[in-house]
Structure 1
Amino acid sequence: MLGLLTAAALACSPPEGTSSLLDRPEPVIMIGELHGTAEAPHAVGEIACAAAERGPVVVALELEDTLQPTLDAFMAAPTVDTARATLDGSTLLNRAVQDGRTSVALLDLLARIHALKTAGRDITVHLFQPSSLTRDDGLDQAWYELNMGFLMGRARQTRPDARVIGLAGNIHARKTPIDRYPDLGVPAAGHLPARETLSLKIAQQGGFAWNCSADACGVNPSMASYDAQTRGVILTPPEDGGYDGVLALGPWTASPPMSGED
């Protein structure tokens, strides 16, 4: 039975084109999402699974760096049930604003990484949302992006032998500035060495996501700005040049908060 469970944990089902993506030389792959979908964390888990077949992997997540000890305890737990118990009382479950980052799909991603690690893969989690500098400090967003970029880079610097697979909001994963947001400056991923960093934007193909609008946080529709039938990794930069390619996962499904809020 243990052998069957281990085999199931090690079986990967990544998006089409993942093999070509992992053949690329860049050690850092950043994936930009719209928070609160079921598809984005699942795809990251399966890409990380495929990468772990080739060598060490660090999965970098846009969660506050103060949660790192909690996630380290999660990954060190002997079973998935004891792992989930390490989250009790943490800000991962108890949040004033549910913006989609701490979704059920994110919990499933963490469980996927835990299963891979328990099965013997060299895989870890690294958190890079800055907790020491916020946009409420009177500083431009550019400073926040700079700090986030530094924390992203720590994933590479602490494990130079590993492939880094990162998941962040699509603005943070972008490599170039956006003219209409002058206070943004260079996005977080743009502060990483260009030669070592490949960035993909998850295509908007319709569906729904749990995120925050101007009025409230909850299930919101997503526009379809990309062919809804396309699937997989497309290593062709979008027209605006902010990313190195696109990850098409189809229309999105909203993933609610792991806290059980609805």
Structure 2
Amino acid sequence: MTLISSLLFLMAPAQGVVAAQQNVLPKAPNARLCRMPEGWDQVMAQDPRYIVFGELHGTEQGPEFIGNLACALAAKGQRILVAVEKSAADDRELQTAWRLPADQFAGALSHIGWLGRDDGVASEAMFAMLVRLHGLKESGLPIGVVAFNGVKDEDQAKRFADLPGQGPHEAAQAENIAQAARLANYDRTLVLVGNFHARKDSIEWRGVQFDPMAKRLARHGKTVTLNMLYAAGSNWSCVLKPGAKVEPNRPITADLLDCGNHLTKGSPDLGRAPFIELDPARSGSTGDYDGFFWVGPISGSAPFAPDR
């Protein structure tokens, strides 16, 4: 999983929001195919503003789960913000692209922040999810997007500079999400992020303790965190090559990494359609998450290549 992500706020057209408030939504392509996952009622019983989905990067199933859920909720008239782990440096371009008509969005999006990412974050599945959500937004559903990864400006960097370890990055992630959610008063914010950032409790990493993004986000509103559980399959990731030697306090360079579609053991197959369960004991890391979302067998999604 990566440790790096930023702010992209892009809201739906005003007429879509008005229609949602009146519970009169335009017909959206494929919206009728979106099914609410079993167990979502458990989440709604908590009435959270933020639902954090800690994924294994580089799969088809993670973005697909969030895309389907956002579609199903928006089709019921809820104003939904989808927060994705893309760089704040691309904020302006993404906002501009989000306002384009459906036939121009994919072309514009393909030039924003995909090059040079081989770690499973900037995947074909992520690209497809954003294109689908934009199409639903264009049809009138109240869906916005925010790219929250990374410190967005110098002022934010200064305010969090005294936090230990990874703390400044995690705090910036949380603040970027919360600010975007407040700007348009969304009903729910769905956060898709590596499960490192989705933990509820403090993390000790490389001898330094800090608060992960989800713990910081809970200061801004009720937050539910879910870990992604899956059956055996594959995911696109970068792992150290056999025999690679990492020197202390030196960066891991590309020549030490094997980036590709790697087999992943996962959990025993539950033989069920994707669902959610609020059970910390079954989340894969007791105390770190409120529950889990199950996606079944996984398949790797390669980095999106704009020239394909």
TM bucket by the smaller chain? Answer: 0.7 to 0.9
Aligned equivalents of 1:32 and 1:78: distance in 2? 31
Which segments of 5 or more consecutive residues in structure 2 lack a partner in the other structure? 1-25, 158-163, 241-256
1:21-170 equivalence runs, <5 A? 21-52=43-74, 53-79=76-102, 81-90=103-112, 92-95=113-116, 97-131=117-151, 140-170=165-195
The alignment status of 1:191 with 2:216, answered yes or no, reads yes
Q: Does 1:218 align with 2:243?
A: no
One of 230, 241, 252 as aligned partner of 2:287: 241
Q: Does the residue aligned with 1:86 lie in a helix, a strand or coil?
A: helix
8 Å CA contact retained: 1:37, 1:253: yes
Structure 2 residue aligned with 1:232: 275
Is the alpha carbon distance of 1:7 and 1:153 closer, same or farther for their aligned partners in structure 2, counting shifts above 3 Å? closer
Question: Residue 216 of structure 1: SS of its match in structure 2?
Answer: strand
SS of the aligned residue for 2:72 comes to: helix
* Superposition deviation, residue 150 in structure 1: 1.8
Which AA in structure 2 matches 1:174?
A: R
Deviations 1:222-246 (A, max 9, x none): 2223544354101111352111110
Instruction: Classify the secondary structure of the residue corresponding to 2:235.
Output: strand
Shift of 1:108: 1.1
Asked if the contact 1:9/1:115 (under 8 Å) is kept, the reply is no
Contact 1:18 1:47 in 2 (8 A): no
* C-alpha contact 1:58 1:125 (8 A) present in aligned 2: yes
Alpha-carbon shift at residue 160 of structure 1 (Å)? 2.9
Deviation at 1:248?
0.4
Letter in 1 for 2:229: A
Contact kept, 8 Å, 1:175 with 1:199, in 2: the verdict is yes
Question: Number of aligned pairs?
Answer: 250
TM-score, normalised with respect to structure 1: 0.86
Give the letter for the 2:304 counterpart. M
Match of 1:159, as an amino acid?
A
**TM-score scaled by structure 2?**
0.74
Mapped partners of 1:18, 1:240: distance in 2: 20
| Counterpart residue number, 1:252 | 298
1:181, distance to aligned residue in structure 2 (A): 5.2
Please state whether the residue corresponding to 1:220 is helix, strand or coil.
strand
- Give the deviation of 1:131 after TM superposition: 4.5
Q: Counterpart amino acid of 1:37?
A: T
The structure with the largest alpha-carbon Rg is: 2
* Corresponding residue for residue 209 of structure 1: 235
Asked whether the equivalents of residues 28 and 140 of structure 2 are also in contact (C-alpha less than 8 Å), the reply is no
Q: Is the 8 A contact 1:232 1:247 kept in 2?
A: yes
Percentage identity across paired residues of the two chains: 29
1:200 is aligned to 226
Root-mean-square deviation over aligned CA pairs: 2.4
The answer to whether the 8 Å contact 1:75/1:117 transfers is no
Aligned-residue offset at 1:192: 1.5
Matches within 5 A, 1:173-188: 173-179=198-204, 182-183=207-208, 185-188=210-213
Structure 1 residues 112, 19: CA separation in 2 closer, same or farther (over 3 Å shift)?
A: farther
Q: Which moved more, 1:168-177 or 1:141-150?
A: 141-150
Alignment partner for residue 9 of structure 1, among 30, 39, 42? Answer: 30
**1:123-174 residue CA offsets vs partner (Å, 9 max, x unmatched):** 11011101456xxxxx722222122222222233323343101100001111
1:116 Cα shift? 1.2
Report deviation, 1:72. Answer: 1.8
Contact 1:207 1:251 in 2 (8 A): yes
Alpha-carbon contact 2:225-2:289 (below 8 Å) kept: yes
